[in-house]
Each structure stands twice: as C-alpha cells, then as structure tokens.
Amino acid sequence: MVIGGDLGDPAGAQRIADTAEEALGGVDVLVNNAAVATSEDNAHRVADVSYAEWQQVWRQMVDVNLLGAANVSYCVARHLIGRGAPGRIVHIGSRGAFRGEPDHPAYGASKAALHALGQSLAVALAPHGIAVTSVAPGFTATERVAGRLTGESGDALREQSPFGRVGTPQEVAAAVVYLASAEATWASGTVLDLNGASHLRM
C-alpha cells in the first residue's frame, strides 16, 4: 500500500508510521529513504546565497533528511517494542557525509547526522532485538538525476569511480535487503559504503 504524507512535519511522520502499523498488521522493517536531494535549485554555497536562503535550505533538508527519519524511526521502534517483536531499521545516507558537500553543506551534514543517529539507535534498540544500520551510496543512477548523467557532467561523475560508472538502484537495494535480513543482525551499527571506490575513508 502507499501512504502519503510530509515527513518534514512531526505529526505527518507519526501518522505515516501509525497508519502503516495498523494497515499492515505491524511494520518489521523500516527503510528511511525519503530525502531532499541535491540540485542546482537548492545549492547554497556560502559565498552565493543570502542568510535567509541559507536558513531556508537548511531547515528543509534537516526537517526531512534527519528529523523525518528520526521521527519515523521512533514511532516504528515504539510499535516494535510494544509488540515485543524484533525488527530492522536501515537508513539511506550518503558518501557526502564523509567527503563533504561544499555546494550543499546542509545535505552533507544531514546525512552525517543520519549515520550517527543510526549508530546511536543501534546501541539503544539492541536490547529489544532491533538492529539499525546505514548505507552510504555514492552517485546513483535514478530517474530523478538522469539529466546529470549526460554530457560532460555525466563523464565527470563516471570518472569519480575507477570502475568508470556510477551506482545502480539495484546495487543499493541488494545491500538494503541484506541489512534487513535476520542474517545481518550482527551488522547492527554498520555504515556500509556503496560508492565503487569513488571515496575511501581512512
């Protein structure tokens, strides 16, 4: 089923989680994939935007990318605890959390915070049988960003990886399926890099 709502609104996030819990007879796996993605329209380079524009972009990205995920995670976790059921929470972060996003600092910061949230929840929720993990994809070829993969910009993106390409949604999905499985319980707290060696953490 599809449940619409605004994750940037705390009441909306709670309604989505509660509706899904009731309609599905319980939510056992939550994947926090909703986000305000980077685009030229929401670029907020320090030297280029006004203070008001800076605040507006930060508020939007933090409200959805971090607080929305935190609120839905809270609501789903409380349902799991109430049912005494094990569960999985998987956050979709970004390599931008580690390498920085100079044109979109709010995005990089929100994704770094999302990874930290996942690790905090991993410790807090383990006694309840709930494992929490994150993935940190690099550039991924989704429909939303198809225009950026053409011409010189596309060549530059593909050149970031020694494989000479960008990631696919299927590769990210395969990692999420594993992390949501019972076999991945011991991976709780993990932040899994999925960027084709385009950014290596030291």
Q: Which amino acids are annotated catalytic?
A: 107
Tokens of 122: 């991993």
Sign of CA dihedral 92, 3, 66, 189: negative
Q: In what order do the strands lie in the sheet with 87-92?
A: 29-32, 87-92, 130-137, 191-194
CA atoms within 13 A on the CB side of 144: 11
CA angle 61–65–69, rounded 5-degree value: 145
169 touches 141 (CB < 8 A): yes
